[in-house]
Structure 1
């Protein structure tokens, strides 16, 4: 088995091995993959470690690594929390976005192969993340006004399921890539009035297929992607866009993935206000 890591800000994962093929997802810097197939010198079929997404990436946009490096990068990294922040090496800059990983980060520096970088932005280690509705919404709000791009999941462009996936991922909860896969997780909430911040709201098309998802801000608002990441009205019928003056998506179900913890919000707030020696202040 061959392994790889994303060495660039964002790399397209495509449905087939051509540049004109649909982008079904993206790899952000530091994401790990298994290489399933090699096609000529130009394309690699990969299996994404975090969400089991399978697709094709350009061979010149992926760095192959050893099994030992794969294990090391998998077990020791930090999340980038800045919207966009450059890492610096001796002779170049590397732009990194919210949701990227810093492999082997020691609080100031990280390395990828022979290249060593310093990073002075906000970063957090997974062990210091404590999932809560407050944390989810703080992360989600950082993406507000990010433009819609099908298959995207970076601050430069993302789709609805890419938004929910990356927000939950940073907060310590893994989700599949697509909305019609994410819907199978969590506890069903019977009425929109019973929804809580951080719940996921799923929406269906006229054929009854789940095609859209958003993060509940409160029982009457949802943060989702419609042209850009935005906050729209939410009720028992669906998403209501005040600017357009109409409903955009029909509500199918609301799911809760966060476990009830009365003191979680206070704990997270306390931890988020503390600057650890090996990480920067969360928000």
Structure 2
């Protein structure tokens, strides 16, 4: 029997929110497809297409620019007005390795980067109205260098996972934007944030980038001070700068360009 050709239809004004610990986003509309990314509890997205059998939605996560497919049964739709409010208003962002919230009558575990859409500017204390355990910070207040490093080092020993955005699995290209997002800074996919700084001016919390110019691949590290950097091979780790540089250069034929950028200043 000839396999039916997949087709999809554009949608407008359809928006959703992640209401589970991790929401996987697939490259193709099938469960055996590769992961593009993952969404964490409270992160919002825009629905851009639906499959003709209405079993899959293609979504766009505007904070990073990544798009991919989710099964229709995992769509948690929200009104367009709420979507805009959630994108522009302050929210609490989870910083503890594991947190928990009472949701639909049971405890739901939350990971770093999960969002609770309450503001520190509210007239009431939101903690008095929901059951929550863990630590959070207000996204409206950007972290300083020490706070950023504290956030980043919580990911030490997190294993590599393509498309991963959690302490249980991280994609290198998404791990560092996630860390800076938790700290209150934006970093869209494919766009380097902040401004370039000279090597002798690098400060703790600055990002270091090695670009493999021949294949347009980038490796990242966060400078921790005292010649130490946080970076990823098969896991997130801390080493001295020279070890990171040697690891990136260990394949012959690479043409590497090193630059440093400050996002915090």
TM-score greater than 0.5 by the shorter chain: yes
> What is the SS of the residue equivalent to 2:245?
strand
Aligned-pair Cα RMSD in Å: 2.4
TM-score by length of 1: 0.77
CA distance in 1, matches of 2:114, 2:128: 15
Partner residue of 1:194? Answer: 201
CA distance in 1, matches of 2:48, 2:76: 14
CA distance in 2, matches of 1:68, 1:77: 16
From 132, 138, 147, give the equivalent of 1:119.
Answer: 132
Partners of 1:194 and 1:219 within 8 A in 2 = no
**Distance apart, 1:186 and its partner CA:** 2.4
Partner residue of 2:261? Answer: 255
71 and 205 in structure 1: CA distance in 2 versus 1, 3 angstrom threshold: closer
- Indicate whether 1:221 and 2:232 are aligned: no
> What is the SS of the residue equivalent to 1:168?
helix
Deviation per CA, 1:247-274, whole angstroms, max 9, x where unpaired? 5895522112221xxxxxxxxxxxxxxx
- Indicate whether 1:99 and 2:113 are aligned: yes
190 and 43 in structure 1: CA distance in 2 versus 1, 3 angstrom threshold: same
Q: How many residues are matched?
A: 242
Partners of 1:149 and 1:158 within 8 A in 2 = yes
**Distance apart, 1:206 and its partner CA:** 6.8
109 and 3 in structure 1: CA distance in 2 versus 1, 3 angstrom threshold: farther
1:1-283 maps to which residues of 2 (within 5 A)?
Answer: 1-39=13-51, 40-74=53-87, 75-89=89-103, 91-104=105-118, 106-108=125-127, 117-127=130-140, 129-177=141-189, 181-183=190-192, 185-191=193-199, 193-205=200-212, 207-218=214-225, 220-235=227-242, 239-240=245-246, 247=250, 250=256, 252-259=258-265
TM-score by length of 2: 0.82
CA distance in 1, matches of 2:47, 2:205: 34
**Distance apart, 1:23 and its partner CA:** 1.0
Deviation per CA, 1:102-147, whole angstroms, max 9, x where unpaired? 124653167xxxxxx52122112223x2332111101001111111
CA distance in 2, matches of 1:45, 1:254: 35
CA distance in 2, matches of 1:94, 1:58: 21
Structure 2, unaligned runs of 5 or more: 1-12, 120-124
CA distance in 2, matches of 1:201, 1:66: 40
> What is the SS of the residue equivalent to 1:224?
strand
Partners of 2:181 and 2:187 within 8 A in 1 = yes
> What is the SS of the residue equivalent to 2:50?
strand
CA distance in 1, matches of 2:191, 2:206: 12
Deviation per CA, 1:76-116, whole angstroms, max 9, x where unpaired? 42101111112124632211001100124653167xxxxxx
Deviation per CA, 1:161-212, whole angstroms, max 9, x where unpaired? 22211111111110013xxx243x3222333x43211111112337252332
